[in-house]
Amino acid sequence: MDDTKPAWWVANKHIFTVAAGLLMLAGCNPEPDFRAYRLEGQRLMVKGNHGVARGLFEKAHEMVPEDPINLHDMADCSLYYARDLFARGDTVAAFREVDKGIEYYQRAINAHPGFPAALLGKNIALELKGQFEEALKVVEWAVRFVGPSAQQQIFLAQEMEERGDMDAALLRLRQAVAMEKENAAAHEALGKFSLRMGDHELAIRHLTRAYSLDPNRPGLADTLAGLGVAVNQLTPIGER
């Protein structure tokens, strides 16, 4: 019965069902495995569909309860949900989700000591928690600042690439760019990854964007010049 399900699940029930169907159409088994749930959850995160992604990560969590990256993503989803609750003015429920996010980040750190993405995420959540009174006064502030960072996704992409999971690494970097469209570091990371993967068109697109946002990033101009891009013809965004 739906009345036993959390509000986010009920609100996204139809989309969640569609996501499960897409997993099967993609050639997954009727009972998708841990990796299938994780990748589909990441694809939905990139699209901004955090509620359904959360359900998929929870399915993966049932299979492997202490996987650090999945715990990290569950924490991210709690912070996204908190942001939505802040936007609706429900600060009490929002901070419950922040607490849940902190707990998941800590479990990820326990499972993977020194895990930089989880350490950064926990710090963001704790900083928000410390601003409780400010968040109550200015809900817009909380809506703007609660949530994971692009830097977390870059850390995770590096870990995925080191493991040889290039699909997951690419999704992380796309998520970083989607989260912070004006973040030069995110565009540069995606551009350099694309270059390593042999996709020069995508590499040039994101490296050029990174240069336009921050032309002083070390080595970026040389990388673009090596790709045949005339950097002297590019106008930094701040000079337009």
DSSP labels for 53-105?
A: HHHHHHHHHHHSTT-HHHHHHHHHHHHHHHHHHHHTT-HHHHHHHHHHHHHHH
pLDDT 10s digits, 82-135: 888 888 888 889 889 999 999 999 999 999 999 999 999 998 888 777 765 554
**Residues 225-234: contacts with CB within 8 Å, 24+ apart?**
227/195, 227/200, 227/203, 229/204, 234/208
> CATH number, domain at 215?
1.25.40.10
Average pLDDT, the chain: 83
In one letter, which amino acid is 12? Answer: N
pLDDT 10s digits, 136-174: 555 555 666 667 889 999 999 999 999 999 999 999 999
For the packed helices 68-87 and 150-162, what is the interaxial angle rounded to 10 degrees? 160
Q: What is the pTM of this model?
A: 0.73
User: Which residue from 175, 184, 167 is spatially nearest to 219, judged by alpha carbons?
Assistant: 184
Residue 233 has pLDDT above 60, yes or no: yes
The H-assigned helical ranges of 164-199 are 166-179, 184-196
Tell me if 86 is assigned to some domain: no
The pLDDT score that the predictor gives to residue 91 is 83
User: Which residue from 106, 101, 92, 98 is spatially nearest to 130, judged by alpha carbons?
Assistant: 98
Out of 4-8, 10-14, 84-88, 113-117, give the one with best mean pLDDT: 113-117
Domain containing 226: what range? 149-240
Could you please report the per-residue DSSP string of 98-125? Answer: HHHHHHHHHHHHHHSTT-HHHHHHHHHH
Tell me if 240 is assigned to some domain: yes
Tell me if 167 is assigned to some domain: yes
Mean pLDDT for the stretch of residues 18-25: 45
Tell me if 42 is assigned to some domain: no
Query: Which residue, chain included where needed, has tokens 């990256």?
Result: 69
Split at pLDDT 50, 70, 90, the class of 28 is very low
Tell me if 82 is assigned to some domain: no
Cβ partners under 8 Å of residue 103, min gap 6: 75
In one letter, which amino acid is 145? Answer: F
Tell me if 103 is assigned to some domain: no
Angle at 69 between CA 68 and CA 73, to 5 degrees: 120
The pLDDT score that the predictor gives to residue 239 is 55
Tell me if 104 is assigned to some domain: no
> For the chain, how many structural domains are there in total?
1
The pLDDT score that the predictor gives to residue 129 is 78
Tell me if 49 is assigned to some domain: no
